Chain A
Amino acid sequence: GAGVSQSPSNKVTEKGKDVELRCDPISGHTALYWYRQRLGQGLEFLIYFQGNSAPDKSGLPSDRFSAERTGESVSTLTIQRTQQEDSAVYLCASGGVHYGYTFGSGTRLTVV
């Protein structure tokens, strides 16, 4: 597609359940980022994928968080045993330094 697609757009889950968030980057974009944005806050870096290189996972807040990416295509962010503090908008971006980074519309996660 023309932009970065994220699904679902909204997700309400019960505390303790696992959730999986999906990001479809723009075709040909080798770099992919996941960020978390809590209500009224800035962007918190989670993880970075660049081509076939080992991902930079330095921003993942706990071992409940993991992410995968198949080649230069779809990425999934998984949160296990969700907690209320995980409630946030999760944003995905793909791109590169010479043409900028395009963000998806995000997944709004609410843990109840």
Chain B
Amino acid sequence: AQSVTQPDIHITVSEGASLELRCNYSYGATPYLFWYVQSPGQGLQLLLKYFSGDTLVQGIKGFEAEFKRSQSSFNLRKPSVHWSDAAEYFCAVRRSGGGADGLTFGKGTHLIIQP
């Protein structure tokens, strides 16, 4: 079964600084990969997804992520964070090729923005 690891439970970044949130997955083949953001009291919003092609994907709100097969990683990046980016970020993986596997989520990274 696939699994997702987000090693950082909390990250604090100054406003205007760059950001990288780590995500590692465990699955033998190329999975479908997603990043979601959850603001306090809100549902989850899809930031970006990868399922094939260019390994650098662009998403909404200025976010991007890079799929690195050799490292089984799909890290999320943003060059300059804004106070409104403070939220919980979840990485998710779904097995490719069909099947009834659930969309598996990491435990999330809580992003704090310092003024």
Chain A contacts to B: CB under 8 angstroms: 33, 35, 41-43, 45, 48, 50, 53-56, 58-59, 91, 93, 97-98, 100-106
- Could you say which of B15-23, B70-78, B98-106 contacts chain A? B98-106
Pair B90/A43 contact, Cβ less than 8 Å: yes
A48 in contact with B49 given A42-B107, A43-B90, A106-B43 (CB within 8 Å): no
Pair A103/B51 contact, Cβ less than 8 Å: no
Please name 7 pairs of A and B residues whose Cβ atoms are closer than 8 Å in the assembled complex, sorted by A.
A48-B103, A55-B100, A56-B102, A93-B103, A97-B51, A103-B36, A105-B42
How many chain B residues sit at the interface, stated as a range, is 20 to 34
In the bound assembly, the distance between CA atoms of A50 and B44 in angstroms comes to 21
Q: Within 8 Å CB of A97, what residues of B?
A: 32, 51, 94, 96
In this complex, what residue of B is CB-closest to A55? B100
Query: Is B46's beta carbon under 8 Å from chain A?
Result: yes
What's the least CB distance linking A36 to chain B, in Å?
11
What's the least CB distance linking B45 to chain A, in Å?
7
Pair B46/A101 contact, Cβ less than 8 Å: yes
